[in-house]
Amino acid sequence: MTGTILGKIKDDYIIQPTDSKPNRNIMVVGGPGSYKTQGFVITNVLNETENSIVVTDPKGEVYENTADFKKQQGYDVHVINFSKMNHSDRYNPIDYVNSDTDATNVATKIVDSSNKEGKKDIWYYSQRSLLSALILYVKYENKPENRNMEGIINFLQNHAEADKAGEESELDNVFASLEIQHPAKRLYELGYKKSRGDMKGSIIVSLLTTIADYINLTVSEFTSFSDFNLQDIGRKKTMLYVIIPVMDTSWEGLTNIFFSQLFDQLYELASNHHSKLPVSVNFILDEFVNLGKFTNYEEFLATCRGYGIGVATIIQSLTQIQDKYNKEKAESILGNCSIQICMNAANNTTAKYFSELLGKATVKVETSNKSSSKNTKQEGSSSSHSDNEGYSARDLMTAGEVTSMPDDTELIVFANRPPIKAKKAFQFELFPKTEVLLNQSEYELNTNPKQIKRLEELQKQFEVESENKKQQQKERLTEIKKQEEETKKLKEQKEQEEQKRKKDEALRISALEFGEAKEE
């Protein structure tokens, strides 16, 4: 079946259909121990049988519990493992660079990942500019098998900077040989090359430090090739597990590049199919803040439904996303999720937010008044009693009540209907017979044959283009030589004419002097 299971009431499950409006984006909030994995993530990975699924898997737990089941459901299963790269399909970010903007986006995220202090100084921009130029050079000039991060490092190590200020370096000469319209040439000459001579060597050293992690053999192999095309996820029924480290943020930049390129590639695919993906895609982004900061995530959420994409953004608390994106952007992200689920409130900010989101309820309030009096001049006393009813507004649930919900209970708040207090849809209740466990460390490459064929075609194309470039270069050299010869001839002709002019002038002067002498 298709659709997202949100929870259950008694024996009935609450399901959000794939074609639901205003969108099928869900914000799931739950701290540690809130059963996000067992009560939402695995439940919906197993339940979906028609749409492609991309799930972030912080510990590899989802893969180990569901991958065999998804294969039985007819899914093409892939793993991108940023935690154990030698047990993963490969991913080459350079494959998806097709413009100077793409190159700058990749370079920015790589440089940002090592720029922990967030300083945007001359060193930052110079590194980014140089890396952008190198990415484009490698993309368009290297052999296809060397169009990757290792190719960039090798190129940078093999082309030294000039020893003396004012001298042309090996790097300068390589980029100078490119055609004037080449995007790598423009980025190089308008950015890095304008740095002062004594800074250039330091910029290269800084950049090598920034990309040093890619020298590692495991990382180099992981980023050397793409075993599947990101657009495949929108073309056929695919199950992609993206395993991310729990405590290590070393590869947050590369993880962010991966998802940014995946979003872009799906949009590009949809644009070529009447703005609709051939196969709808469900994103289940657990530990969302560990994926880095996306520049236009709120815009992505606002537009993705039309392309056939639904996104479940999973965080531990509201303060997490506010710290990552600031309060204004966090509100925009939340506003683009038509359903918000509170599986538990990890802090008071989250509890207060959901209490206010639930709104007020009108409750009946009964009051009882009793009064008595005693007359000092007469014996006895008198008393009166009255019961009154009134109505008052109170929070549907206070922040304290949200915080103290039972472990099996959650709140579901809809954009266009009343909220629901429901039970969590535990995977072990709904799918009790999924006991086949796989080991993420035993995963083997699942290479799409089309990717190998694509590489072979690129190699053939490169050979043809290389021959054409050699021929063009030969023709340019011939033309240059011809121009040099013509220039030389013109120079010689001018020199001969000048010599003749001087000789004629000397003869004229001699004749005048002879005439003057004869007259005397």
Share of the chain above pLDDT 70, in %: 88
Residues 432 and 291 in one domain: yes
- Is 303 within a domain? yes
Residue 100 lies inside a defined structural domain of this protein:
yes
Last residue of a domain, one of 193, 218, 243: 218
66 and 102 part of one domain: no
The tokens of 216 are what?
């590692």
358 in a structural domain:
no
Q: Is 350 inside any structural domain?
A: no
Average pLDDT over residues 11-35: 92
Average pLDDT score over residue span 390-411: 85
* Residue 99 shares a structural domain with residue 86: no
- Do 9 and 44 share a domain, yes or no? yes
Cα 118 from chain centroid (whole Å) = 18
Question: Helices H, strands E: what count in the chain?
Answer: 19, 13
The top-scoring range by mean pLDDT among 7-11, 114-118, 155-159 is: 7-11
**Residue 398 φ/ψ, nearest 5 degrees:** -75, 165
Q: What is the pLDDT of residue 246?
A: 82
Q: What is the pLDDT of residue 122?
A: 82
Domain annotation covers residue 384 = no
Residues 413 and 313 in one domain: yes
Residue 502 has pLDDT above 60, yes or no: yes
Rg for the chain (alpha carbons), in Å?
Answer: 35
Does residue 151 belong to any structural domain of this protein? yes
Model pTM score: 0.85
User: Minimal CA–CA distance to 102: which of 222, 187, 159, 174?
Assistant: 187
Query: Who has greater pLDDT, 229 or 480?
Result: 229
Together in a domain, 482 and 426: no
* 19-24: long-range pairs with CB below 8 Å, 24+: 20/338, 21/305, 21/338, 21/416, 22/305, 22/338, 22/415, 22/416, 23/301, 23/304, 23/305, 23/310, 23/336, 23/337, 23/338, 24/305, 24/310, 24/338
Task: Say yes or no to pLDDT of 162 above 60.
Answer: no
Same domain, 32 and 83: yes
Q: Which of 186, 218, 250 marks a domain boundary?
A: 218
Let me know: does 278 contact 314? Beta carbons within 8 Å: no
Do 143 and 238 reside in the same domain of the chain? no
Q: Could you tell me if 13 and 99 lie in one domain? A: no
Question: Domain for residue 27, yes or no?
Answer: yes
Q: What is the pLDDT of residue 434?
A: 62
Residue 155 lies in domain: 94-218
Closest to 182 in 3D by CA, of 143, 144, 134: 134
Model confidence at 516, pLDDT cuts 50, 70, 90, reads low
Structural domains of the chain, count: 3
pLDDT above 90 (res 380)? no
Q: 């040099």: which residue's tokens? A: 484
Do 414 and 299 lie in one domain? The reply is yes
| Residue 173 vs residue 80, higher pLDDT | 80
| Same domain as 161, residue 236 | no
